[in-house]
Amino acid sequence: MAGSRFTSALSVLSLASAAIAAPLTSANTANVLNRRAEEICKATSDCIPFTIEVAWGGVDATGAGSRGAILTNGSFPGPALRMKVGECVDFKVINHLEVDTGVHFHGIQQTGTPWSDGVPGLSQYAIKAGDTYMYRWTADEQGGYFYHSHYKGQLMDGLYGAIFISPSDEEENPFSAVDSSAVDALKLAAAKTEPLFISDWSKYTFDQFFAIEEAANIDIACADSLIVNGMGSQTCLTKDQLTALSPPQVANLTAGAGYTAKGCIPANTPATQGNFTRNLAALPADVYDTCTPSTGKTYTLEVDAAAGYASLTFINPGAFAILKASIASHKMWVYDYNGHYVTPQQVDQINVANGERVSVFVKLDQAAGDYQIQISNMGLNQVISGSAVLKYKGSAATAVTGTALLNVAGNPITNTTTVVPFNALKAAPIPAEQVSKTADRTIRMQIQKLPNQPDAYRWTLAGNTPYDMSNDDGTPLLYKDPATIQESDIIKKTNMGEWVDIILETTGPLAQPHPIHKHANKFFMVGQGKGPFNWTSVADAVAYNASMFNFANPPFVDGYTTVPGEGTNTWTVFRYKVEIAGAWFLHCHMQTHFSGGMAIAILDGVDNWPYAPSDAGKVCQGEGSSNSTWNPSCNCPASCPANPGKGPDGNGQGNGQSNGSSGSGSSGNSGSGSNNASGSSNSGDNSGSSSSSSGSWDNGVWVGPNNPSTGDVTSSENTGSNSYVPNSNTGSYSSSTSGSGSGSNDTSPIKTFTGAASSSHVSLFTVLALAVAALSL
């Protein structure tokens, strides 16, 4: 694959001649193979030490009262890890939970370290309660990523934190296309990018949530609120407001009933829930029908206009909601998308699907004030939105200033408001990456509710078979001889060097979008369309009409959202090269869909199968340090003057005490100050029209059961959002950051190793529009 590639610090381990043994820090001892790779701890590590302790605690995210959640170093979300390309990390997890866990590094390719992907049942045994486990891996590509639990549904309980990897000094970047006169300011802003975790939030823990789905036999798509960095509110709209914001489709879908008091399509709607027998008596009223307003804290990010630009990285770890984000009176330049620099786009709005990371520059050229960062739901399933605050240094504002672009339903405030959204189809990678025009292998998937069974919450990526969460507790596929593993609907195999097509067809008539994530090898999104995929391969489809595909400069990502559609199937095609051998997931990143079975395992490179070191997971941290521009070891050089608590005396630096246990910062230096505590730290989009009567182009995708064999397809820029059944109402109801109670602002942004938001942070986000697109049948 073209582009920057860095050999893992562990690549010195001989993967070809080694074999694996059982896990090291857990009680599991079965399935030990005779051959082993070289031990990880044999040599002294110069990797960055980073420790997280995970424990169950209370979180009041919306001011409605505490619910159980997973705290990381006592905080929610967890602390950020910042590195530089070429550096490795010793990422230590201390499991204080009473249950198993595992930590995945979302978007990190794990070149040479497939045993560090963090997926129980695929790449490791689960980390047992009370155990300590260490992952070691190397940062091989710049970008925004995040770590999160990959054990059953724990992601919904809050175990996640940001990872930022700075580029190598010589790496190409797209900053001059944003502002050629301010490249240095943009570099500094990118090095200091701030994470904004935006997601849906429920008062119920994952176990409670899933139990309600089972008992009521529904697929829940109704949230209490949308939160930003663990803060938000539950806001309740009046019936008149909901009616004014309701698009025509809702009346048709609900037989005139309209939205519930929580702004949700009712749980008894067949068009969105499917034709299943429901037990609504088992559904608590507050899941769909009862709205109780509450006011928590508002996340506030302070910026300094003297810097010229700020960088924000939006990350969606949510359960089911695909979200929109905009900033009052500010445009955004998207420069990094799902782990890769892209051709910059100046936009008013970005769409952030589950598992996605979108990094933007914001020019700080407005008057000092507090500007609303608005989050809204993308789909019809719920009218809900929320907000944070972008606060200029020196602002004395007592209320949010500036002009919001979107209303509470995420639509333009007025019919004359022009909103330019981010177009993922045009996210051409920088530097350019080359995709093969042919493939060696095809994996075809059928996304749908699990057929011929009674459960409304069960999904399949493979067409007929769901992935079972109980596999998390089994022997990892990586710890087996691949020759003994039989291919099936949910287990596929590839060989090293192959180009693989993944054809994803989503079953209609209501084909909602699905944010699909692949572990390890990134992929190119080469084509998508509406209607069935009527060919046996991409080659056949290209022969029929090559204009349906982009092999020149397609998005190069680890996650992409399938195309939605009404009244028809839709299809999306990913193509990737097998360069990193191991056992990897391909799955929907909506937690409700993933837990319902929408996943498969791909055993990439079975002809050069890697065997885990005998001491994989063993704790053997070294004394490395990070060269990242923005990290606690800066000690206030000119390159990072805003690094908080980092005076010349070293106050506040890493290796502090967190919850009575040692935390590790990226610098490995000890701090002596009182703030020592938190430690661990296409160019063308194929839009246009066709003269063929068999179909047409719509929003960048081909529409029709048969694609055009004749006629010219004229490419034209598409500025419409690629959203699922977007709300069409453009009423004037405006979202407000004020809630029904007396909340407060938290002005301390999440910084590396400063503990993020504490467990007492109450999520205020006034009504984050967090509705996932309507559920397919």
Question: Does residue 520 belong to any structural domain of this protein?
Answer: yes
Give the CB-side neighbour count of residue 131, counting CA atoms within 13 A: 20
Report yes or no: 341 and 357 within 8 Å, Cβ to Cβ: no
pLDDT digit string, tens, across residues 82-99: 999 999 999 999 999 999
Q: Which helix (H) or strand (E) holds 162?
A: strand 160-166
Q: Which helix (H) or strand (E) holds 209?
A: helix 206-216
Question: Does residue 582 belong to any structural domain of this protein?
Answer: yes
Return the CATH number at 693. 2.60.40.420
Question: CA–CA separation, 231 vs 224, rounded Å?
Answer: 12
Average pLDDT over residues 684-694: 33
Report yes or no: 197 and 317 within 8 Å, Cβ to Cβ: yes
Residue 356 in this model has a pLDDT that exceeds 50? yes
pLDDT digit string, tens, across residues 454-497: 999 999 999 899 999 999 999 999 999 999 999 999 999 999 99
Dump the DSSP string for 84-153: ETT-EEEEEEEE-SSS-B-EEEET---TT-GGGS--BTTTB--B-TT-EEEEEEE--S-EEEEEEE-STT
Report yes or no: 324 and 769 within 8 Å, Cβ to Cβ: yes
Question: Does residue 658 belong to any structural domain of this protein?
Answer: no
Question: CA–CA separation, 83 vs 142, rounded Å?
Answer: 9
For the chain, what is the radius of gyration of the CA atoms?
24
> Residue 189's pLDDT is what?
97
Residue (of 554, 501, 773) closest to 685 by Cα position = 554
> Residue 509's pLDDT is what?
82
> Residue 571's pLDDT is what?
97
Question: Does residue 489 belong to any structural domain of this protein?
Answer: yes
> Residue 723's pLDDT is what?
26
Burial class (CB in 10 A: 0-12, 13-18, 19+), 583: buried
pLDDT: is 664 or 363 the higher one?
Answer: 363
Total number of domains in the chain:
1
Question: Does residue 24 belong to any structural domain of this protein?
Answer: no
Residue 141 in this model has a pLDDT that exceeds 70? yes
> Residue 179's pLDDT is what?
98
> Residue 630's pLDDT is what?
66
Report yes or no: 765 and 281 within 8 Å, Cβ to Cβ: no
Question: Does residue 555 belong to any structural domain of this protein?
Answer: yes
pLDDT digit string, tens, across residues 376-421: 999 899 999 999 999 999 999 888 888 788 888 888 887 777 899 9
Q: Give residue 37's pLDDT band: very low, low, confident or very high (50, 70, 90).
A: low
Spell out the residues 6+ positions from residue 342 whose beta carbon is closer than 8 angstroms to its own.
Answer: 174, 334, 335, 336, 427, 428, 429, 430, 555
Dump the DSSP string for 1-42: --S-----TTTTS-TTT------SSSS---S--S--BPPGGG
Question: Does residue 565 belong to any structural domain of this protein?
Answer: yes
pLDDT digit string, tens, across residues 500-539: 999 999 998 888 999 999 999 999 999 999 999 999 999 9
Q: What is the 3-state secondary structure (H, E, C) of 278-313?
A: CCHHHCCHHHHCCCCCECCEEEEEEECHHHCEEEEE
Question: Does residue 229 belong to any structural domain of this protein?
Answer: no
How confident is the prediction for the chain on average, in pLDDT?
80
3-state secondary structure of 400: coil
Alpha helices per DSSP H over 283-412:
285-288
pLDDT digit string, tens, across residues 570-620: 999 999 999 999 999 999 999 999 999 999 999 999 999 998 999 999 998
Worst-scoring range by mean pLDDT, 325-334, 439-448, 478-487, 731-740? Answer: 731-740
pLDDT digit string, tens, across residues 713-737: 222 333 332 222 333 333 333 333 3
Domain of 601, in residue numbers: 441-613+684-703
